Structure 1
Amino acid sequence: MMNEPTRWNLHTLYPEQMESTLSTELDELEATLNKLLHSIKKLSPSLNPIKPEELSLFSQLIRRVEKADSYYYCLFAETPRHSIIPLLRSRVSTLKAGIRSLWSDLGHQLALMTDEQFTAWSSLPSIHPFISDLSTLRLKSQTLPTNLEDFATSLAGDGLKSLEHMYIQLRDKLKVDIEDESNRTKLSFGEANRIAFSDPDPNRRRQAFQSLTHTLEQESDLFASVLNQITHFRLALCQAQQRRDVLDDSLTLSGLSRVTLDTMWETIDSLLPKLTHFLKLKAKEYGEEKISWHQLKTESHIHTQVPFSEAIERIIETSNQLDPAIGDFMQQAVINGWIDAMPRKNKPLGGFCAPFIHNGESRISLNYDGGVESGRILAHELGHAWHFRQLEDHSSLVLLEDRFSMTIAETSSIFFQLAFIDDMIQHSKDREEKKSLLNWKIQDSLTYLMGIRAAYLFETRLYEKRRSGPLSASQLEDLFQEAQKEAYGDQLSQYQPFEWIKAIQFYRSSVPFYNYSYTFGYLFSLGLFEIAKKDGKQFSQKFNQFLSETGKKSVEELALQHFHIDLSHPDFWDQPTQQIARDIEEYIHLSTEQ
């Protein structure tokens, strides 16, 4: 294992001269797309429906475009000012819009088929790999008028994506003034945010947090304008698609029913007294009546250091306990240059995992600084990579981002981060270190159960109020502060200011209500983690099959099929929340133990 954080290898994805190779690849993809678009215009559903070989070509086109898209994302993270970035982003976006247009045209053709014609055509062996996608598309196209389908596709593909890019550009141009004893420094949003939450000097953390807040307040009108436009677009899209409200689109992609989502939140709400009891305990430890959100996030530092090599060894070891094939995969990810863990100022916050499914690979980016949080992020992103590996052999006619269930994605990633942190707690020999790690785990759970709960409440109320007209920056800030007070049981002295600007999730073009998938993944992973302890080696086979069927069935169907779990019933959700309650009790015990 490598002792120092590794750098990834992007050159193996597009070998030789990257720019010319990628340009040639995009030329071929554009020619293939135009050929398919031209061909489908001439189809007659009753006489000559689309040929199986054209469906295969369409599926291959999607995979190659997704590869170029992931490569763009990685290249932008590594070299934001690379000369090829603007053109690459434009050409990939145009290709994805063309794929969605082709998908829409195909739906119109399928809708014109009689049931008998569709049954006869889809019974061909060569159609079988695509039957699920085609059946879903036909049903959707039969229920949504053609002009509205085209309108919805265009709106989602162009307007929302442009607004997301506008948000990123505005955020990346922010400059935050930080003063020290000798000079004043202007920092980027990402660097200021990093210092505000992870700098070892508490005074520097507080100063960075205050300066960042001041900068965001000054620029809040611009971000309010972008967010208002996004919510307006989504409400128009919702109306065009004849949906009840904006949440419907998210639930459909997540594979969840409203009943299950409401049951999850109600179970969390019932745990609120136990969670607020922990917050009161933390305030008492700090000698205060209430603590602030920033204190909660920063002042309980874990002094335990986890070198990169140790984090990798722990992740491999815990993965081997589940399935040696997973441990081997994690090791290969390091050896084969999939992970860029070297700290750099221009890197995106947190981490990400970009899939290259056709290659059976992923690329992971994070700033590994030797802290426990870095180890958690590494385990989390490797969990995503394992999930993507399970999708390697799929043939699909839909872009991954249009069918990828975030609920399952976050289940896979959080499952591995839980295994990592539990392993650290179990093997800790020092009581104070164990208490510190347990405190970190509980505060991590508060992020999922309280912080994300606040984001969900904010987004729900945002769309309700936006129907009556735009909201000012101060109204948005008030709305988020109110949501945080409710989610945290009004137990903090000060809340996270301008989170509606900091969180890119509110500006993502792919789907609204990005947030609750993390809470679902956290609690579902806790439940699955207990099942894994009981089932041993048998669990991995069911888990891998569960991951491999992402997008084919809803997460509720898959949970019932593979684990016999009824997610709509509160009995399941009681189990993981009670585990969190036990963690709090253990922390209290360690705090009072002599």
Structure 2
Amino acid sequence: MFFCPYGKIFPMEKMAWNLESEYPSYNSPEFLSEFDLVKSKVDQLEKDVKSLKTPFDNDVEKIQKIWIDVEATQVLVGNMSTFLNCHLSVDSTLSEAQAKKSEVMALSSRMWQILIPVDNFMKRCSEETLNKILSHPELTPAKFDWSQERTQKPFMLSDDEETLLQALSMPGLHAWGELYSNLSGTMRCEMKFKDRTETVGLAKASALIRSQDEETRHVAWTSIQEAWTTHKETASAILNALSGWRHEVIKKRSQVKPAHYLDQSLFYSRITKETLDAMLTACYENVDMSRRANLAMAKLMGKKALDPWDLLAQSPISASKAERSYEEGLKMIKDAFGQASPEMAQFVDMMAEKHWIEARVLPNKRNGAYCTGFRKKREPRVFMTYMGSNSDISTLAHELGHAYHSWVMRDMPIAECGYPMTLAETASIFSETLLHDVLLTNAKTREEKIEFAWGEMDRATAFLLNIPARYDFEKSFYEMREKRTVSADELSKLTDDAWSKWYGSTLSENDKMYWATKLHFSMSGISFYNYPYTFGYLFSISVYARREELGKDFMQTYINILRDTGRMTAEDLVQKHLGEDIRRPEFWRKSIAVINRKIEEFEKLALG
């Protein structure tokens, strides 16, 4: 049993995920046999690539075989990586799992180094040759992916340079991201209450910031600040190394056409800079209205401005002060999803019954929440730390939205399932919106209405103030890092400036250490892991707003949108299904207008 600090007792066995359905363990014969199989497949790929004769145009059938084998190998590599990451997320001190993960990553890196000549050929060859290769039924689903990849032709390096870059990225770029994960996973926070001191892991301290009790929030937030301040030089070294690496790569790739530090992020988000600018323009035009949500929340707390430890707090006014059990939280989500479709409600039951959700509070558990999946069986998994707050329930709905997205695509070719973060966040935030809308609609008393409307305001300020502030910080940092190394104190100053721009005077103080405490800035896979959340939030509101108009056809339209997310750009997807142009601020203003009406309603409740 897990004893929640607020008195609830949560059943640990029901909150643990089942990973053994994939492999008994990472030392099991099943796992080791699959690892050996991947090694043999990579060896064979190396022989097949070396057997190609230049020009490759005359070896279409061999190239087809290579890419078919690559997809099969990727499935196995992805499966093993997911299994290891899941174990390390639950306990970051598992040294054997860390060692095995490094072996799998090295194997994956070797495979991509081997494939670079063929990969570059696919980007450079004629349309006629490309079409011949992709005419194979097993490769046809990859047409959209290759059309996107070929837009990167001006930024390509030689085969030897690309191979070297790939080889160095594991001990270089990605090692810095691993350092952050290891540091945060083993970090201890000293929570200094008036009558006692408790030492807890970072995940638990982060979860306690969502407490209804202000002292607990303040103590938890302060303990995290102190822990990261102790390690601020390491944290700044990580950020500088990641950005420095990316800047050097950009310089190398700018020989034919100038590359920009935002290019990779926009490419992987499948949006244009015009779309990003239109969205952020609409957000900043509305900044005064978004700030009013913060001020209304502060008023309900009896404050003139929110403190930084209040940004994730639950409503100070609610129908029930008790934290909700794990089962209660799942039922709330199931009932809300059922308002959209019986299938969505059944999906929640399935995730719980199959134990595909990890929600325990554990000492060495990774901070945060995410959805992942096993490629072989096309099964999702959800990871979080559940302590019974409304925010926890909202987070669980968010991650289950991601899981549902992958679930409705499980029958599709894998090549058509690689959706970008911008569109991934649409499904997750749609699910949150559905939860909050149902809860608010069913609320009867003022206390209930405030409790559930608070969640709406929490999301509005997160996506319309916090996320844009993250983007502005990262943009300023990348511009400064292009010239020189940026110190920890300078990173705090850049954070302070970005928060002041967006939050204004609605906070008592800015969270100047946010650059260190927020995992997303230190992820090695991609930079600017922020604005897609705002994109998903506003796009999901646009989709959700069509529920009444479409009636019984809405759910099928929604599923059709989800199933198209991996085979077209965001601009094309919205044009196809909604008939709108997201490159224009007008599209985003319509969604923001919906939020503004909710802010005005919340202000009335706050004045009560």
Same fold (TM over 0.5): yes
Alignment pair present for 1:35 and 2:48: no
| Counterpart position of 1:440 | 455
1:302 to 1:560, Cα distance in 2 relative to 1, 3 A:
farther
Alignment pair present for 1:377 and 2:388: no
TM-score, normalising length: structure 2:
0.90
How far does residue 296 in structure 1 lie from its aligned partner after superposition? 4.3
Q: Aligned partners of 1:557 and 1:531: how far apart in 2?
A: 18
The range that moved more, 558-567 or 141-150, is: 141-150
Name the amino acid aligned to 1:169: N
For residue 17 of structure 2, the aligned residue among 1, 5, 8 is 8
Contact 1:322 1:537 in 2 (8 A): no
- Can you list the C-alpha shifts for 1:487-533, whole angstroms capped at 9, x where unaligned? 11233220113111111111111110001111111111111111123
1:230 to 1:436, Cα distance in 2 relative to 1, 3 A:
same
| Counterpart position of 2:290 | 275
| Counterpart position of 1:71 | 83
- Can you list the C-alpha shifts for 1:35-65, whole angstroms capped at 9, x where unaligned? 1122112212133232534332211111111
Q: Aligned partners of 1:325 and 1:300: how far apart in 2?
A: 31
Contact 2:253 2:259 in 1 (8 A): no
How far does residue 469 in structure 1 lie from its aligned partner after superposition? 0.4
| Counterpart position of 1:356 | 374
For residue 89 of structure 1, the aligned residue among 92, 101, 106 is 101
The range that moved more, 47-56 or 253-262, is: 47-56
How far does residue 293 in structure 1 lie from its aligned partner after superposition? 2.4
Q: Secondary structure at the match of 2:425?
A: helix
Contact 1:358 1:392 in 2 (8 A): no
| Counterpart position of 2:6 | none
Contact 1:55 1:397 in 2 (8 A): no
How far does residue 135 in structure 1 lie from its aligned partner after superposition? 4.7
1:263 to 1:76, Cα distance in 2 relative to 1, 3 A:
same
Contact 1:357 1:392 in 2 (8 A): no
| Counterpart position of 1:211 | 223
| Counterpart position of 1:308 | 326
How far does residue 444 in structure 1 lie from its aligned partner after superposition? 2.1
Q: Secondary structure at the match of 1:343?
A: coil
Contact 1:414 1:521 in 2 (8 A): yes
How far does residue 410 in structure 1 lie from its aligned partner after superposition? 0.7
- Can you list the C-alpha shifts for 1:13-49, whole angstroms capped at 9, x where unaligned? 1258852211111111111012112211221213323
Name the amino acid aligned to 2:390: V
1:144 to 1:41, Cα distance in 2 relative to 1, 3 A:
same
Q: Secondary structure at the match of 2:507?
A: coil
| Counterpart position of 2:5 | none
The range that moved more, 74-83 or 557-566, is: 74-83
1:301 to 1:474, Cα distance in 2 relative to 1, 3 A:
same
- Can you list the C-alpha shifts for 1:128-156, whole angstroms capped at 9, x where unaligned? 23334445545645762324433443454
1:281-360 pair list within 5 angstroms: 281-298=296-313, 300-301=315-316, 303=318, 304=320, 305-360=323-378
1:120 to 1:316, Cα distance in 2 relative to 1, 3 A:
same
1:183 to 1:277, Cα distance in 2 relative to 1, 3 A:
closer
Name the amino acid aligned to 2:379: E
1:287 to 1:37, Cα distance in 2 relative to 1, 3 A:
same
TM-score, normalising length: structure 1:
0.92
For residue 28 of structure 2, the aligned residue among 19, 22, 25 is 19
Name the amino acid aligned to 1:123: S
1:186-205 pair list within 5 angstroms: 186-195=199-208, 197-205=209-217
The CA RMSD over aligned residues, in Å, is 2.6
| Counterpart position of 2:472 | 457
How far does residue 163 in structure 1 lie from its aligned partner after superposition? 0.4
Q: Aligned partners of 2:512 and 2:157: how far apart in 1?
A: 43
The range that moved more, 40-49 or 455-464, is: 40-49
1:28 to 1:564, Cα distance in 2 relative to 1, 3 A:
same
The range that moved more, 567-576 or 531-540, is: 531-540
Q: Secondary structure at the match of 1:246?
A: coil
Contact 2:297 2:454 in 1 (8 A): no
1:162 to 1:143, Cα distance in 2 relative to 1, 3 A:
closer
Q: Aligned partners of 2:353 and 2:487: how far apart in 1?
A: 50
How far does residue 477 in structure 1 lie from its aligned partner after superposition? 0.3
| Counterpart position of 1:586 | 601
- Can you list the C-alpha shifts for 1:364-407, whole angstroms capped at 9, x where unaligned? 12222222112111111111111122332444569x8xx54001
1:444 to 1:34, Cα distance in 2 relative to 1, 3 A:
same
Contact 2:145 2:415 in 1 (8 A): yes
1:253-268 pair list within 5 angstroms: 253-268=268-283
| Counterpart position of 2:253 | 241
| Counterpart position of 2:192 | 179
- Can you list the C-alpha shifts for 1:156-197, whole angstroms capped at 9, x where unaligned? 4542210001112233343332334665443333333333x1
How far does residue 561 in structure 1 lie from its aligned partner after superposition? 1.1
Contact 1:73 1:354 in 2 (8 A): no
Task: List runs of 5+ in structure 1 lacking aligned partners.
Answer: none
Q: Secondary structure at the match of 1:187?
A: strand
Contact 1:322 1:536 in 2 (8 A): no
Q: Aligned partners of 1:132 and 1:221: how far apart in 2?
A: 43
Q: Aligned partners of 1:200 and 1:551: how far apart in 2?
A: 40
1:183 to 1:126, Cα distance in 2 relative to 1, 3 A:
closer
- Can you list the C-alpha shifts for 1:524-563, whole angstroms capped at 9, x where unaligned? 1111111123213322223223222333211111111122
- Can you list the C-alpha shifts for 1:299-342, whole angstroms capped at 9, x where unaligned? 74464444433333333333333333333222211111211223
- Can you list the C-alpha shifts for 1:224-279, whole angstroms capped at 9, x where unaligned? 11111111001112222335311110001101111111111111111112122333
For residue 542 of structure 2, the aligned residue among 510, 523, 527 is 527
Name the amino acid aligned to 1:416: S
Name the amino acid aligned to 1:9: N
Contact 2:446 2:605 in 1 (8 A): yes
Name the amino acid aligned to 1:248: D
Contact 2:189 2:224 in 1 (8 A): yes
Contact 2:468 2:531 in 1 (8 A): yes
Name the amino acid aligned to 2:249: L
How far does residue 467 in structure 1 lie from its aligned partner after superposition? 1.2
The range that moved more, 17-26 or 485-494, is: 17-26
1:311 to 1:185, Cα distance in 2 relative to 1, 3 A:
closer
1:390 to 1:126, Cα distance in 2 relative to 1, 3 A:
same
| Counterpart position of 1:405 | 420
Contact 1:172 1:189 in 2 (8 A): yes
1:487 to 1:293, Cα distance in 2 relative to 1, 3 A:
same
1:135 to 1:33, Cα distance in 2 relative to 1, 3 A:
farther
Contact 1:383 1:415 in 2 (8 A): yes
| Counterpart position of 2:122 | 110
Q: Aligned partners of 1:397 and 1:102: how far apart in 2?
A: 20
Alignment pair present for 1:562 and 2:577: yes
Q: Aligned partners of 1:33 and 1:190: how far apart in 2?
A: 37
Name the amino acid aligned to 2:244: H
1:132-171 pair list within 5 angstroms: 132-137=144-149, 140-141=152-153, 144-146=156-158, 147-171=160-184
Name the amino acid aligned to 1:575: K
Q: Aligned partners of 1:436 and 1:111: how far apart in 2?
A: 53
For residue 48 of structure 1, the aligned residue among 52, 59, 74 is 59
Contact 1:19 1:84 in 2 (8 A): no
1:537 to 1:62, Cα distance in 2 relative to 1, 3 A:
farther
Q: Aligned partners of 2:334 and 2:298: how far apart in 1?
A: 37
The range that moved more, 459-468 or 44-53, is: 44-53
Q: Aligned partners of 2:43 and 2:263: how far apart in 1?
A: 33
Identity %: 25
1:20 to 1:283, Cα distance in 2 relative to 1, 3 A:
same
1:415 to 1:465, Cα distance in 2 relative to 1, 3 A:
same
The range that moved more, 90-99 or 389-398, is: 389-398
